[in-house]
Amino acid sequence: MGQARSPRHEVVLAAALALALSGCAGAQRRGATRRPIPPLAKAVVRTAKSYLPEEEKGRKLPKDCSDYVHAVFKENGIELPRTSLEMARRGEPLASSGDLQMGDLVFFSGSKPSSTVGHIGIYVNNGIFIHFAKEETGVTMESMYSDYYRKRYLKARRVIP
């Protein structure tokens, strides 16, 4: 037999369910239509994840963040410039971070917040991006909404048609 629930407990459960459901619907801007994720975008993210330390099997470590992104896209048949600053000029600009989709390039300022591109990553999904942070940690997946990256986010570009 189940536990008896108080009316307050029922209200809390209903509110939690409403919040959860509105959070799912709110993840996409009202009126915005999502395009299907292109197979190439999925392949790019799969390749990007293959560089993670737990997955890496004899891969040559990238020199820096832009070398990493360049290598991942090249392995999937997309030629990008070598530096993050040059990559920031390629593809279609996205109006906001709410428009991000798998495989998009995300750009950040360097170690100090500024308006100059100094770091790049590849958007995975749900606010997560993958990037080469530094030699000690290698490739990692992180939240764009962490204090560090939220303060440094500059823009995004779509290079996968």
Q: pLDDT tens across 50-85, in order? A: 999 988 677 888 999 999 999 999 999 999 999 999
Name which residue leads in pLDDT, 22 or 87: 87
Choosing from 9, 24, 70, 119, which is the catalytic residue?
119
H-state helical runs in 27-138 = 39-49, 65-75, 84-87
Residue 72 and residue 47 in contact, taking contact as beta carbons nearer than 8 Å: yes
Active site residue 119: yes
Choosing from 9, 24, 70, 131, which is the catalytic residue?
131
Active site residue 9: no
Q: pLDDT tens across 96-138, in order? A: 989 999 999 999 998 888 899 999 999 999 999 999 988 888 9
Please give the share of the chain, as a percent, with pLDDT higher than 70.
Answer: 78
Residue 54 has a pLDDT of 87
Rounded mean pLDDT of the chain?
Answer: 83
Distance of CA 65 to the CA centre of its chain: 14
Residue 104 has a pLDDT of 98
Active site residue 65: yes
Determine the Cα–Cα distance for residues 121 and 104; give it in Å rounded to an integer.
Answer: 9
Q: Parallel, antiparallel, or unpaired for β 119-125 and 153-158?
A: unpaired
Tell me, what DSSP letter sits at residue 122? E
Mean pLDDT of 132-152: 93
Name which residue leads in pLDDT, 111 or 156: 156
